[in-house]
Amino acid sequence: MRISVDTEREFLESVFKVQGFNEQDGQLLADTLVDADLRGISSHGIQRLQWYSKMIEDHTLEPKNQPKILNETPTSLLIDADKSMGQIASAFAMRKLIEKAKAGGVALAVIRNSNHFGTAGYYSRMASKEGLIGISTTNTRPLVVPTNSLEAFLGSNALAFTFPADPHPFVFDGATATVSSGKIQVLAKKGEQIPGDWAVDENRNVLHDAKTVEDNLATIAFSDDRPGGGVLTLGGNKEVNSNYKGFGNSLIIELLTGILAQGSLSADTNKAPHDFSQFFMTINPALFGDLETLKANASAMFDRIRHLKHVPGTKIMIPGDREYQNYDDNLKAGINIDGETLAELQAISKQYNVPLPIDEANA
């Protein structure tokens, strides 16, 4: 079934209010989930609400807490999120980094004691709206098996990189691993199979049953057990296809987040305090040339790539193309909600006594 964007936003804002977030924070949180659903990144949309609610109940997440600046220089920020939701400290950091990059050309922020921050692209897109390059990363729960390893250690470790362009910015936004766990969750909820080489068992045999993989990942991420197996690094199962490069990419994010923040490694976020760390950067391209010229050159390059000879029946898409198309489509058609997520939302509606208006015509 589909629900309208207004319905989704209103429901989320009401739930977050009852959960104790202030109005501004609740609006931000709702906006990040609605934005993900609009862009077709349903793994990071309203389907995460159940997890967020659970984190409030077990005090992994404190809705009333606010981020604090521990250290600030003209080029940097070190922030303690104080167990608030990741979105709150992240948007706060990115707003400050935008000012800093406009003044000094480049700036970095590291956040500790944080939580899940939604999609990485939400924050790097804030920078691109201001004519800046934006970079946004986070570590996560343990999910990913290093090259040759039989057990998970790394997070899916999202990276977003945004560069100003027309008709929309370049937005690379995704797990450094082959996929995020959310993508497998969505397939499991729909009862679908995994179509590619995304995850392995304790002997590094590729698994295709999404429910089996999802159950295994949940055990790894949310308990003290590490039964073996996990999500593959980019490059797949075989070292000969350079999966050590995907491993390296994931480790770079681990260094910029958990290590620089002196927070938990992804490997250890299965245990309390379950803290995530984030890293952000803004770069002013005007350090190197006229912004409009750089934008025009980037846009022209993307157009050339879109029109290269390609496999019949396929399209060459620049990072961001699909999400901006989804955004326009879903704004009209409404947000698609799978049956299991709907049941979760109905339970939350009951628990917090917040009505979930369903357009029965579309149900």
**Binders of a copy of itself among 280-299, rule CB under 8 A?**
283, 285, 287-289, 293-294, 297-298
User: Closest Cα to residue 175, out of 148, 141, 204?
Assistant: 141
Grouping H, G, I as helix, E, B as strand and the rest as coil, residue 134 is strand
* Shortest Cβ 196–a copy of itself spacing (Å): 4
Is 110 a binder of a copy of itself (CB under 8 A)?
yes
Is 316 a binder of a copy of itself (CB under 8 A)?
yes
d(CA 235, CA 139): 19
Is 361 a binder of a copy of itself (CB under 8 A)?
no
d(CA 81, CA 230): 29
* Shortest Cβ 358–a copy of itself spacing (Å): 33
Site for a copy of itself in 59-88 (CB under 8 A): 71, 73-76, 78
Residue nearer to a copy of itself on the CB measure, 11 or 198: 198
Q: Sign (positive/negative) of CA torsion 288, 291, 294, 298?
A: positive
Is 239 a binder of a copy of itself (CB under 8 A)?
yes
* Shortest Cβ 226–a copy of itself spacing (Å): 9
Residue nearer to a copy of itself on the CB measure, 71 or 351: 71
- For a copy of itself, which residue of 24, 193, 223, 262 counts as binding (CB under 8 A)? 262
Is 151 a binder of a copy of itself (CB under 8 A)?
yes
Is 310 a binder of a copy of itself (CB under 8 A)?
yes
* Shortest Cβ 332–a copy of itself spacing (Å): 25
Task: Extract the tokens encoding 103.
Answer: 């003044």
Is 240 a binder of a copy of itself (CB under 8 A)?
yes
Residue nearer to a copy of itself on the CB measure, 62 or 202: 202
The DSSP 8-state label assigned to residue 130 in this structure reads T
Return the bridge partners of 158, or none: 175
* Shortest Cβ 152–a copy of itself spacing (Å): 9
Measured CA to CA in angstroms, residue 10 lies from 14, 24, 28, 111, 354 at distances of: 6, 14, 12, 29, 10
* Shortest Cβ 238–a copy of itself spacing (Å): 7
Stretch that binds a copy of itself, among 23-31, 250-258, 336-344, 352-360 (CB under 8 A): 250-258
Is 167 a binder of a copy of itself (CB under 8 A)?
no
Residue nearer to a copy of itself on the CB measure, 289 or 339: 289
Site for a copy of itself in 27-56 (CB under 8 A): none
Task: Extract the tokens encoding 190.
Answer: 């729909």
| 28-43 as b/e: b if 16+ CB within 10 A | bbbbbbbbbbbbbbbb
Residue nearer to a copy of itself on the CB measure, 289 or 355: 289
Diameter over CA atoms, the chain: 55
Residue nearer to a copy of itself on the CB measure, 16 or 198: 198
Contacts 24+ apart (CB under 8 A), 291-300: 291/131, 291/164, 294/164, 295/164, 295/165, 295/166, 296/166, 298/163, 298/164, 298/165, 298/170, 299/165, 299/166, 299/167
Residue nearer to a copy of itself on the CB measure, 288 or 347: 288
Environment class of 242 (CB within 10 Å of its CB; exposed 0-12, middle 13-18, buried 19+): middle
Stretch that binds a copy of itself, among 33-41, 88-96, 237-245, 338-346 (CB under 8 A): 237-245
Is 251 a binder of a copy of itself (CB under 8 A)?
yes
d(CA 33, CA 11): 11
Residue nearer to a copy of itself on the CB measure, 314 or 353: 314
Question: If you write DSSP's letter for every residue of 10-74 in order, what string do you get?
Answer: HHHHHHHHHTT--HHHHHHHHHHHHHHHHTT-GGGTGGGHHHHHHHHHTTSS-TT---EEEEEET
Is 259 a binder of a copy of itself (CB under 8 A)?
yes
Residue nearer to a copy of itself on the CB measure, 199 or 356: 199
d(CA 25, CA 13): 9
Site for a copy of itself in 321-340 (CB under 8 A): none
